[in-house]
Structure 1
């Protein structure tokens, strides 16, 4: 089997409402879909979800990177994923390369007749995802949390990191409204200093927070360890981990209790390696996402279902889109993600 071509499809999809974090606001998904074709009429879909703040990409830079990658992979055997990813490694763009990585795995699964969840280990049949409440007014956050719980969701992820006192007030009001059965996790997206993180998270401890994602700047590994050692809420590294080497660094420095794996940061091949590093170190993982179509979220769901060390999911980015061109793929019902038994990713694009 040989790769014969790669089609690049830019997309622009409005969001249902603005998505606001401590890193900024997002109003639309300006991503890129990729279709890799072969001489056996087996094709694979992938997706790039660029982020100026996290992957340092734009839609334009992704397209440029993919046009650079295309001649490098045509003629290659799509089964030789590691060889291909090494060959294109020098090209700029984490999510651009991730889209190729996802598509190659889709081809692999289709060719051998297995869904990727089975290829990755087939550990579980479904996984509960958190549903995200972005930064906004206290009363709006409470209404959104109540809406999530009323619709069957049981894991709420609250974006924090801009106004610590308001962050605490939101948690308090949300707990008063939904009680203590639903789980709440928080994500500061690098918004706090060490001192502010320790003070704020100690105030939040009484509200039974499941864990906090990336309280500090991604490069402040020593600070992450300090926060971890001074609060009872488990600390999860997110933006601090893009590569397997980053995961090793977190482990060596005891800087986090958990790691959030995102395919758009690392690619699918490296995501599997990060999961294995965490498994060896006994560090529980979550699979997260950006704002993505069901292509990216389906890939993340297959990964989460396949690996035992992945206990948590934040795979709700597709729910923010006004429309999605993906046919089939992940199903999210009452906060639970499932995929079918079709080979590969189990999806197509309209």
Structure 2
């Protein structure tokens, strides 16, 4: 299975409702998509969202990095898989989203070459998962309404975006909790929006109301490890590290310094599946649970993340793969099936993706 060509293009999928966090507001998914074509007729699919405020990646930087790396992949055989992953990771520094897109497509092809779905190649597991749903920052009334609608649609795990205003954030959580009830699991994501003092104050105030939080995600700035340590040590609620962790080295530092209780793995931060697997292995050694998450992604990379989660369910205990559920339409022919919170993986070889609607070709790499 020889790599002959890499197509680089773009897809645009409107969101059902604008996605608002402490960092940004987005109205549609506009991701770079790559298709690696081989001499056997097999195609591997990858995807990368431009999340400049988190990964530093833009459309242009992703296209540039994919072009630079992709030229080194042309003519290579999928059988030399580990060498291909080395090329992706070592040709250029950083550019984690571009690397993730290429790795996802390569893993797709590698699993196809073995005629197995990716999750079985990665270790097996069940092909069913359950995800939470994100509630964007908005007025309290809108967030309560969105939460109730999510519960009506079968979601019993909600990730609430906060980090705009500390007192209003506390009121948001209290109002949502009172509306949905104690049977619904609440997760908070401050997206680096609080200081350490604000985090401790807000979390303790929420705990005083008798609200049991599943976790609080990245309450302080990504590089404020001391702040993360302080928050983690002073509150009862588990603290989850997201933007603080891009690499296996980051994971080791956070774990050893006890800066978080849970690690969030996102393929766009790790640069793909290979480093995500290393982080999972580290967390297994230290007995630290993981969550698998996503950016605003239309489905290809979420499908890959779901396969990874299915294969490593003993350590990936939380699923936050709601990107496609936030989209107004599904551009994929194949891949995962989503029915409310339920995710079902295809048992077709690789990722099981056959085609992408709305794919706009930007360039061919030959």
**Residue number among 223, 227, 230 corresponding to 1:219 in the alignment:** 223
Please give the alpha-carbon distance, in whole angstroms, between the structure 1 residues aligned to 2:22 and 2:298: 23
1:334 and 2:347 are equivalent in the alignment:
no
- Deviates further, 314-323 or 104-113: 314-323
Gaps of 5+ in 1: none
Please give the alpha-carbon distance, in whole angstroms, between the structure 2 residues aligned to 1:81 and 1:254: 35
Superposed displacement of residue 260, structure 1: 0.5
**Residue number among 96, 100, 103 corresponding to 2:102 in the alignment:** 100
Superposed displacement of residue 20, structure 1: 0.6
Cα 1:104–1:254 change in 2 (3 A) is: same
Q: CA RMSD in A?
A: 1.3
| Moved segments of 4+, more than 3 Å | 79-82
**Residue number among 247, 251, 255 corresponding to 2:251 in the alignment:** 247
Please give the alpha-carbon distance, in whole angstroms, between the structure 1 residues aligned to 2:263 and 2:80: 28
Name the residue aligned to 1:34.
34
- Deviates further, 126-135 or 325-334: 325-334
Please give the alpha-carbon distance, in whole angstroms, between the structure 2 residues aligned to 1:26 and 1:239: 19
5 Å matches for 1:182-201? 182-201=184-203
User: Deviations 1:21-70 (Å, cap 9, x if unpaired)?
Assistant: 01111122221111111222222111111201111011121112112122
Name the residue aligned to 1:149.
151
1:127 and 2:129 are equivalent in the alignment:
yes
Gaps of 5+ in 2: 357-366
Cα 1:347–1:285 change in 2 (3 A) is: same
5 Å matches for 1:310-349? 310-349=316-355
User: Deviations 1:206-254 (Å, cap 9, x if unpaired)?
Assistant: 2111101101111111211110010000001000111111111111111
- Deviates further, 183-192 or 340-349: 340-349
1:10 and 2:10 are equivalent in the alignment:
yes
Name the residue aligned to 1:176.
178
Please give the alpha-carbon distance, in whole angstroms, between the structure 1 residues aligned to 2:216 and 2:121: 31
Q: TM-score, normalised by structure 1?
A: 0.97
Please give the alpha-carbon distance, in whole angstroms, between the structure 1 residues aligned to 2:262 and 2:229: 12
Give the aligned length: 350
- Secondary structure at the aligned position of 2:244 is classed as coil
Name the residue aligned to 1:296.
301
Please give the alpha-carbon distance, in whole angstroms, between the structure 2 residues aligned to 1:322 and 1:68: 33
Superposed displacement of residue 150, structure 1: 0.8
- Secondary structure at the aligned position of 2:78 is classed as coil
**Residue number among 160, 163, 171 corresponding to 2:162 in the alignment:** 160
